[in-house]
A = this chain, B = another copy of it.
Amino acid sequence: MNINKTIFEEKGRFGTYGRTGVLHTRAGDVLTPTFMPDGTRGAVKGLTPQQVVDTGVQVVLANTYHLHLAPGEQVIAELGGLHVFANRKGPMLTDSGGFQVFSLGEHTKVTEEGVHFKDPKTGDKRFISPEISMQIQLALGADMIVAFDHLIGLGQETPEQVRDAFGRTHRWLERCIVEFKRLTADMNDEQQPLLFGVVQGGLDLELRKQSLEIIQNSDVDGIAIGGLSVGETREEMEMVLQALAPLYRADKPRFLLGVGTPEDLKIAVENGIDMLDCVLPTRNARHGSVWTALGHKINLTNAEYNADPKPIMRSCDCYTCASGFSRAFLRHQFKVGEPLAGTLASIHNLRYMSRLCEEYRNV
């Protein structure tokens, strides 16, 4: 935790709770608000690092769970860390692995010590604890890392489950902080990555507020909002973000985990969120779903685009639109299963999200 240096500087405000700012990381400054694509396996699917940067993306997220399982953090550490491995020059962030352990692991079992699960591919038994998550993330070498939390899906959860996960998340945070301090003891302020604590509490607004207070008073560099976009309605997510918006301290960055449609980005950013990540823009793009003007969505695989000479979005300045690829060409490439289709659509969707953030930064 970088108690002696400025991590976040607020530069301006919009609406009631929205703000622009600069986040200082060891790999460079990040202008906020900012959208961060998920490079699950270390790199954004189908895009070169240069293509990613060209969309305006400033931070790439990589998934601790996936990289731990393959090729393993030791391989990446030996090769010089995630930046060298994935040939990424700018800031990187790793998540805690928690979300994936709960959503992708098999036979997942939570104890106070940590989470036992099976690798769905190999069947191997695995175990991740708060300490192990810190060890993996520091071995991977991202510039921003996230505390290991206990996540529950929203929809059929009981108040007991919510309260149980809430309590465990905070106990685990303390263990993450102890392990983080141990592992970074010989790093100076400039070398240390930033640690984000995770706010949980389901849809219980009182628990959410309590959780935020606990996190904000902990020895962390940033505030992450977890446990949203996991089954609840947009209105419920907005309700939680609105409840938290007046309570944030100004000097720490606020990161909303796993949220990434244009509508959700607007709700988040207007409620004081600085950073968001999601697989959605690129995953949707690989299935032909792209955003056009005013948040409309079209699917390029539809037959109606068979002979459509228009670009995805006339006013878009992404490589795909600006160089004149037609909907007809993209539909054809999707239809015959060409990988270029997913690349070109991903470039568009990432630029779309980045431009939305740029517009907020220019309000």
Contacts and interface: CB of A to CB of B under 8 A. Distances in A.
Given A43-B338, A43-B340, A338-B41, A85 B326 contact: yes
Contacts of A207: none
B323 A41 contact: no
**Copies of this polypeptide in the complex:** 2
Contacts of A75: 306-307, 328, 332
A298 interface: no
A44 B344 CA distance: 13
Nearest to A342: B339
B328 A85 contact: yes
A338 B86 contact: no
A50 B324 CA distance: 13
Contacts of A191: none
A87 B329 contact: yes
Interface residues of A, number: 43
Contacts of A71: 306-307, 328, 331-332, 335
A226 interface: no
A70 B329 CA distance: 11
Nearest to A49: B323
Given A78-B307, A79-B309, A339-B342, A329 B86 contact: yes
B84 A324 contact: yes
A335 B42 CA distance: 13
B343 A79 contact: no
A120 interface: no
A326 B344 CA distance: 25
Given A43-B329, A49-B323, 15 more contacts: A41-B333, A43-B338, A43-B340, A45-B340, A46-B340, A48-B340, A50-B323, A66-B336, A70-B335, A71-B306, A71-B328, A71-B332, A79-B309, A79-B326, A339-B343
Nearest to A85: B329
